[in-house]
Amino acid sequence: MWDVGFLVMGVLLAAFGGRVFLRGTVGLAAVLLVPPGIIGATVAAFATSSPEAAVGINAAINGTPAVAVGDALGGNVTTVSLVMGTALMVSAIALDRRDVRRDLPFVTAAPLLVGLLTFDGWLGRTDGAVLVTVFAVWLGTTVSQALRERDATGKVLGEQTPRRALMLTLVGIVALVLAGRLVVVGATGLGVTLGLDPFLVGATVVALGTSTPELATVVVGQLRGHPDLGAGTVMGSHIFNALLIVGGVALIRPFELHVDEVAIPVVAAVAGAMLLIPGRSWRLGRSRGALLLLAYGTYVFAAVRVLA
């Protein structure tokens, strides 16, 4: 009962945090004269990935890095397929071609790189350094683009007062982090009760819990008319998880990892990324959302079937 209670409280708090965080970050984008998509890919993605980061650091320190890597890779699948699929079922998203061209290659390549580095069954500090370096390249590219695209005429809806925008952003971050923590505790407790494998728990149950902030941010963004912020958050969070979090865990505590465990979330993450490739209209609609949700369901079925 406590686990279920934590899950319910986490979901409710995530809804509140997503609404407040959206108002703050959109206002912050206006104050900084930066497109909301870039704010989503950096500030929002970093904030909503904080539960994965907390799980990763704690798991690495406590000697259970498999849970951390399972959470990060499973979180990629959950964020791209479940979160984005749910958002597209709410309404279609018109993507910014500059954001897609900047982020989507990294979104596709990041899980492939993780799979390649773990092919020998070991993720060491050198592997972690490679992942973190690639992340630094992406972050540098994004910041450089943000500096080039500062536009004094780019006013958007949000909290225009710098102090208020920053305050709402911080309140939203705290609420989302706490929401993610509550859901993780509840989800992990249910996973242990069901007697599931640690990597499987991380790749499915914990990943679902730590993706709650992204889900709240993206859905609220859709409902409030800021789909570019949500799409940026999804792709940025994916890159944070696969490169920075997995790389950071490897730097803290190198560990063995079976290829068959990694293969399922890696393939599912790449498949989800491919489904984000827009057509000539640069729009994703409900049919693409249905495919993403189907891909997520297939991933969960395969993971439970093979790893349970």
SS3 211: coil
Q: Which residues of 114-124 are buried (b: 16+ CB within 10 A; e: fewer)?
A: bbebbeeeebe
pTM: 0.76
Domain spans of the chain?
A: 2-151+162-307
Specify whether domain 2-151+162-307 bears CATH 2.20.140.10: no
Pair of tokens at residue 298:
């297939």
> Given a cut of 50, is residue 6 above it in pLDDT?
yes
Task: Report the chain's mean pLDDT, rounded to a whole number.
Answer: 79
pLDDT tens per residue, range 192-234: 676 766 667 767 776 776 677 777 777 777 777 766 667 788 8
CA 96 – CA 80 distance, rounded (Å): 17
pLDDT tens per residue, range 175-200: 877 776 676 677 667 666 767 666 67
Residue 154, pLDDT score:
42
What are the residues facing 94 on neighbouring strands? 283
Residue pair 249/120 in contact (Cβ under 8 Å)? The answer is no
Residue 155, pLDDT score:
45
Alpha carbon 197 to its chain centroid, in Å, reads 23
pLDDT tens per residue, range 135-172: 999 988 888 877 776 653 344 444 457 788 888 878 87
Residue 153, pLDDT score:
36
Q: Give 132's pLDDT tier (boundaries 50, 70, 90).
A: very high
CA 106 – CA 141 distance, rounded (Å): 11
Residue 83, pLDDT score:
86
